[in-house]
Amino acid sequence: MPQRLVVTGASGYIGARLVERAQRRGCEVVALGSQPGGANVTAIAWRLGEPPRLTAFVGATAVVHLAHDWASDRLNGTGPGNANLAGAEILARAAREAGVPRFIFASTTSARPEALNAYGKIKFALEERLKALPRHDGRVFCARIGLVYGGRERAQYALMAKLTSLPLLPMIGLDREVQPIHVDEVCDGLLALALDPPAGRQTVVLASPAPVTFGNWLRTLRRARHGRRLLLVPVPIGFALKACDWSKAIPFVPTVERERVLGLAGAAPMPSAEDLAALGLTLRDPADALMDCRPARRRLIAECRAMLRYVAGMRLRSPGAIIRLARVTRRDPAFRRALPWLALHWPGLMRLIEPIRPSMQHGLSRRLHLAAMVVESLPAEPMQPGLGTLAKELFLEAVALPFRLVLGRVYS
Amino acid sequence: MSDDFAPEFIVVGSGPAGVSAAIPLVDAGRRVLMIDGAHPSPLPSERATQTQPWRRMLGDTLAALRPDDGLSPKLRTPVALDVVGGFQRWAEVTEDSFFAVGAMARGGLSQVWGAFVAELDQQDLQGWPLTADELAPSYRAVTERIGISGSTDDDMAAFYGVSGPVLPPLPIGPTASVMLQRYAAGKPYRDFALGLARNAILTVARGERQACNLSLACLWGCPRGAIYDARQDLAALQRHPNFQLRNGAAAIRLTQEPDGWAVETAGGETALRAPRLLLAAGTLGTLRLAVPLLRLGKTVLRLLNSPLMAMPLLLPRRLGKPAPREGYSLAQLGFRLRYAAEPTHYVTGGIYETIALPPSSFAARLPMGRRAGTAVFRALSPALAIATVYFPGHCSSNFITADISGGDVRLGLRGDVSDDFADVAPLVRRRLSAIWRRLGAFPLPGAAIAVAGTDAHLGGIFPMGLADTHGTSRYGELHATPGVYLVDGSVLPSISAKPTTLTIMANADRIGRHLAGVA
C-alpha cells in the first residue's frame, strides 16, 4: 500500500517539487492549502491557523509543514499574533490527535533566538514550541533548510537568478557564509524524515556541509547559469535597508524584502555533515547541478550550434548533431566560461580566439575537436577543398594569427 | 549449459587464441567448455543501426566522442573503447609509461585488430622449443580457416610465409600504388623490401562472410564480415554438440582439485570444473589469472612488446588529385628493413592511406586553427600515407610487478625500451626516411614512438621452453601447475617485429592438436 503524505505549502517552491518527488517514489499526497494542488493530488482546503478536517490525516504517514505566512511576519513580527506560531501548533496537535506518526517542520538555518530577521526568530520559536508539545517525542522533526537553489525559478532562488543575470551587482553581506542546497536534495531530505527518519535526530540541518561566502555563491550562480563573471560591489547594510524601501517605490526594479537583507546579514553556518550522512544524502556540486537550469541549457545549445557551424564551414541541418555535442560538452569544465556572443552570431570569429595550435588542454580547442568529430560522423559526403578554398583558409589563418596570440589564452 | 555436460577442457577466453585451441579439440570429439567474460555482442554485420553513421563512429552512448588522448584512432573507436575499457576495468592494472591493451569482449581483440598477418620463419623462432616445420601445419590450418589475402610472388611474399593458401590481393589505393611502382622501377634496395600487405581480409566470399567491397568502413568494424573476427569461428564452434559457451563468466580464480581444475567466475554460483584448463584470455588477461598459480608472492616478470613508430608521409605527386571514393583503411603495403646483421634485427610494418581516417585526429596535430587544419588535411589527404614501423621485442624493456601477497592480485606494468633502442630508433628512422624519399614519399614532421603496449604485440611472460617457475612446457603447460595450458601470446618466448596474432593462433592450434591426442 502506498504511503500517504500530508503536505502544506504544496504549491510553493519546495512544496511543488516535494509533491513530484514523493509521487515518483510511489507516495500519495494530500495537499492542505488554499490553492489547488497538481495532478493526482488530493487537495483539501485549509488556512494556516485553522484546524484542518481530520479526514485529511486518514492513513497518513507524515505531515510535512512547509507553509509560511510572510504577511503575518510583516504585520505581527515575533508577537503572539503571528499566524505562523499558532498555525503550526494547531496543525501539529491535530496530526497527533489523528494518530499521524510523524510531523516534519520546515525550519531554516537562520533559526536562532538572536536572529536579525523575524523569520529566523519565528522559526526558532516554532521549533521550540513544537518540540515542547505534550506526547510529541519522537514524532516531531525539524528540518533546518539552507539556501535553496535549482529547479523552477521561484522564491529566493528566483530573486538570486534575476540578480545574477546582471554583470555588476551591488550587494550586502558578501562575506557572510551561506549553505546552498539543491531543492531536490531538500525534498529528498524531507522525504527521508517523513518515510524513514534516522534514529535519535529530532533536528536535522539540510544545507551544504561546506559553507561558502555569499559573494562566492552569487559568482557561482552567474558562472553556472551564464558562464560569465560577476562583479560585486559591497553595500553597507544600513544603505541596503533603505534601498529595500526605495525598491518598492521604483517600478521595474526587483523588490527586495528587508527580511531577506536582515536574514542574510545574520546568516551563520550550522554543521550539517552528520545529518546529511544519517539521511543518506550526498549533495551535488552546485556548479554541476546548475547545468540543468534553463539559461545554461540555452547557452549550451547556442554554443554547440555555433561551434558546429564554424567547424563544418556551413549551417548544419542536423538537430541531432547539436544534441550529441551538447550531451558531451555540458560536462566539459570549459563550458563554464561562455563564448563571446559575437562568436555565437558569427561563428567564423572563433578563428580569432582559438589557441595557436590545437590543444586538448585548451577548453575551446577541445570543444572544437569534439565538434569536428560530430561533423565527421554525419552522413554527408566529405568535401575536398579546391585550391581557392585552401588559399582563402590560409590567408584568413595568417590574418587571425596576431589575434590568436593574445585571445588564444582567454578561452582556455 | 546443461548440467550433464562434463567438459574435458575449459577454455578461458573467446578470442583468436581460444577458438584456435578449441577447434582441433572439438573436431577430435573432445568436450570443450569455453567461458567468456563478456556478454554476446552483435557482429557489425548483425547490427540493426547501420543507417546512422554516428552510432558506428561515436557509439550509442557517445563513448567515443571524447578529447583526443594521443592514442591511435583505432583504439578510440566505440568498439575499441568497449573491448579494451572492459578489460582495463576487470584487470585493474596500474600502468606506468604503458597502455594495457587487453579485451573483455567476445572475440577478444579480434574485434578491433589490424588484421595484418605474418608467419614466423626458422630465424624468428630462435630460442623457441619448436621448429618452423612443426608450426607449419598449424599456420596452414589457421590460414585456410580465417582467409588471408595478399600476394604470393612479390618481394614480401616469402617474408610473410607460404604455409597456407593465400587469396588474391585487394586492389591498393593510388598513394600506395605510386610507392609500389617506384619500388619496382628503381634499382634494388639494400636490406629493404616492399610488397603488398598480407591481411586477414576476404577477397572471395566464404560462408556467411562476404568479400571486401572497399567501403572504407574498416576502422569501425567491417559490416560485411570480410575482416576476420574470432566471433565468426565461435559461431561455427557453437554448432558442435561437444562444444558449449558460457557468457558473462569472467574467470576470477583457478583452484587445483584432486581430479583437475576449478574455475570460479564472477557472478557464477558454482565453480566450473574440468581435468584441463586452457588459458586464452589474452596475454595480459592470462597474466592476471596465471600469476597467483605461481605462488611467488611479490615478483617481477618480463613483458615483451614490439615498439611502434608512426611516420606520416606526403607524396607530392598525388597533390591536387581527387581522393579515392573507395578503399580500405587497413595496411595496403608491407615492408621490411634489416638494420643490423643479426637475423632478428629487422623492422617491419605497413603503409596506410589516410582517406578513411577521421580528419579530426589529424587536424588536432596541425599547427593551425581547426577550420584551416581540417581544410589543409582534406586537401592533403589524397597525398598522405602513414607508415607504421614495428621493432623487434628485444628493443622493449617492460616489467610486470605482481603482488599476490595480500590475497588480491595487484599488477603493475612499466613500459620502457632497451638501452640500444636509443641508437636503433634514429638509425631506422633515418634509413627509412631515405627510402621513403626514393619511393616519392616525403616524411613529414610528427613521427613518434607510440606508448608501449598500444602495439598490442605482447608476449614473453611465461616462455615456452623456459625451465624456471614461470616457464612453460613446449605445449604451454605451466611447470608449477600441471593441467593448466597457456595458449595465447603470454607463452611466446620472443616477439619478432612481425605481427603476432597469426602465430598465436597457430601455436594455440598446435597445442590444441596435441591435447586432442592426449588421453
pLDDT in tens, A233-265: 998 888 888 888 887 788 777 677 777 778 777
ipTM for the complex shown: 0.89
What sign for the dihedral angle of Cα A347, A349, A354, A356?
Answer: positive
Total-model pTM: 0.85
Structure confidence at residue A381 (pLDDT): 65
pLDDT tens sequence across A97-113: 888 999 999 999 989 88
For the cut 70, the answer to whether the pLDDT of residue A37 exceeds it is no
Residue percentage of chain B with pLDDT more than 70: 97
- Given B56, B66, B372, which is nearest A394 (Cβ)? B372
CB-based burial label for A330 (10 Å; 0-12, 13-18, 19+): middle
Q: Is B372–A360 a contact, with Cβ atoms under 8 angstroms apart?
A: no
Q: Is B359–A397 a contact, with Cβ atoms under 8 angstroms apart?
A: no
- Given A313, A373, A389, which is nearest B358 (Cβ)? A373
pLDDT band at B29 (very low <50, low <70, confident <90, very high): very high
Q: What are phi and psi of B411, to 5 degrees?
A: -115, 135
For B323, nearest residue in chain A (alpha carbons): A384
Q: Which CATH fold topology does A4-292 show?
A: Rossmann fold (3.40.50)
Q: Which residue has the cell 575499457?
A: B85
pLDDT band at B422 (very low <50, low <70, confident <90, very high): very high
Structure confidence at residue B234 (pLDDT): 95
Chain A positions touching B65 (Cβ under 8 A) are 324-325, 328, 370, 373-374
- Given B58, B365, B371, which is nearest A393 (Cβ)? B371
Q: Rounded to whole angstroms, how far apart are CA atoms B391 and B495?
A: 9
For B70, nearest residue in chain A (alpha carbons): A360
Q: Is B371–A313 a contact, with Cβ atoms under 8 angstroms apart?
A: yes
Average pLDDT of chain B is 92
Q: How close, in Å, is residue B326 to chain A by CA atoms?
A: 12
Q: Rounded to whole angstroms, how far apart are CA atoms B69 and A360?
A: 8
Mean pLDDT, rounded, for A328-344: 89
pLDDT band at A336 (very low <50, low <70, confident <90, very high): confident
Largest CA distance in chain A: 89
CB–CB of A272/A206 below 8 Å? yes
Chain B positions touching A321 (Cβ under 8 A) are 54
**B363, B63, B58, B67: which is closest to A334 by C-alpha?**
B67
Separation in Å, CA A228 to CA A124, A166, A174, A266, A340 = 38, 10, 18, 29, 10
Structure confidence at residue B46 (pLDDT): 64
Residue B315 grid coordinates: 607524396
Q: Is B360–A373 a contact, with Cβ atoms under 8 angstroms apart?
A: yes
Cβ neighbors of B241 (< 8 A, separation 6 or more) are: none
Chain A positions touching B360 (Cβ under 8 A) are 369, 372-373, 376
Looking at per-residue pLDDT, the higher value among A195 and A252 belongs to A195
Structure confidence at residue B198 (pLDDT): 97
Cβ neighbors of A299 (< 8 A, separation 6 or more) are: A226, A227, A338
Q: Rounded to whole angstroms, how far apart are CA atoms B443 and B189?
A: 18
Q: Rounded to whole angstroms, how far apart are CA atoms B146 and B138?
A: 12
Indicate the helix (H) or strand (E) that contains B313.
strand B308-314
CB–CB of B86/B13 below 8 Å? no
For the cut 60, the answer to whether the pLDDT of residue B384 exceeds it is yes
Residue type, B441: A
Q: Is A379–B53 a contact, with Cβ atoms under 8 angstroms apart?
A: yes
Chain A positions touching B375 (Cβ under 8 A) are 313, 385, 389-390, 393
Cβ neighbors of A282 (< 8 A, separation 6 or more) are: A276
| Lowest mean per-residue pLDDT among A49-58, A280-289, A318-327, A353-362 | A49-58
Query: Of A324, A328, A364, A376, which to mutate for an interface test with B (greatest number of B Cβ within 10 Å)?
Result: A376
Q: Which residue has the cell 578561452?
A: A411
Q: Which residues of A lie closer than 8 Å to B, measured between beta carbons?
A: 310-311, 313, 320-321, 324-325, 327-328, 348, 351, 354, 356-358, 360, 365-366, 368-370, 372-374, 376-379, 382-385, 387, 389-390, 393-394, 396-397, 400, 404
The number of beta carbons lying within 10 Å of the beta carbon of residue A386 is: 11
Q: Rounded to whole angstroms, how far apart are CA atoms B418 and A188?
A: 58
**B202, B173, B515: which is closest to B354 by C-alpha?**
B173
Chain A positions touching B49 (Cβ under 8 A) are none
- Given A311, A360, A387, which is nearest B374 (Cβ)? A311
Cβ neighbors of A351 (< 8 A, separation 6 or more) are: A310, A396, A397, A400, A404, B369, B371, B372
Mean pLDDT, rounded, for A179-201: 93
Q: Rounded to whole angstroms, how far apart are CA atoms B238 and B247?
A: 12
**A20, A75, A9, A92: which is closest to A46 by C-alpha?**
A9
Interface size A-B, in CB pairs within 8 Å, comes to 106
Query: Of A373, A375, A399, A401, which to mutate for an interface test with B (greatest number of B Cβ within 10 Å)?
Result: A373
pLDDT tens sequence across B90-114: 888 999 999 999 999 999 999 999 9
Q: Rounded to whole angstroms, how far apart are CA atoms B95 and B110?
A: 23
The domain locations on chain A are 4-292, 294-407
Structure confidence at residue B1 (pLDDT): 47
For the cut 60, the answer to whether the pLDDT of residue B2 exceeds it is no
Q: How close, in Å, is residue A305 to chain B by CA atoms?
A: 15
Chain A positions touching B323 (Cβ under 8 A) are 382, 384
For the cut 80, the answer to whether the pLDDT of residue B469 exceeds it is yes
Average pLDDT of chain A is 89
Q: How close, in Å, is residue B327 to chain A by CA atoms?
A: 15
For the cut 60, the answer to whether the pLDDT of residue A80 exceeds it is yes
Residue A156 grid coordinates: 529566493
Residue percentage of chain B with pLDDT more than 90: 76
Q: How close, in Å, is residue B261 to chain A by CA atoms?
A: 44
pLDDT band at B171 (very low <50, low <70, confident <90, very high): very high
Structure confidence at residue A36 (pLDDT): 64
Q: Rounded to whole angstroms, how far apart are CA atoms A230 and A212?
A: 16
**B352, B334, B314, B394: which is closest to B117 by C-alpha?**
B334
Structure confidence at residue A383 (pLDDT): 72
pLDDT tens sequence across B189-224: 999 999 999 999 999 999 999 999 998 889 888 889
Q: Is A358–B363 a contact, with Cβ atoms under 8 angstroms apart?
A: yes
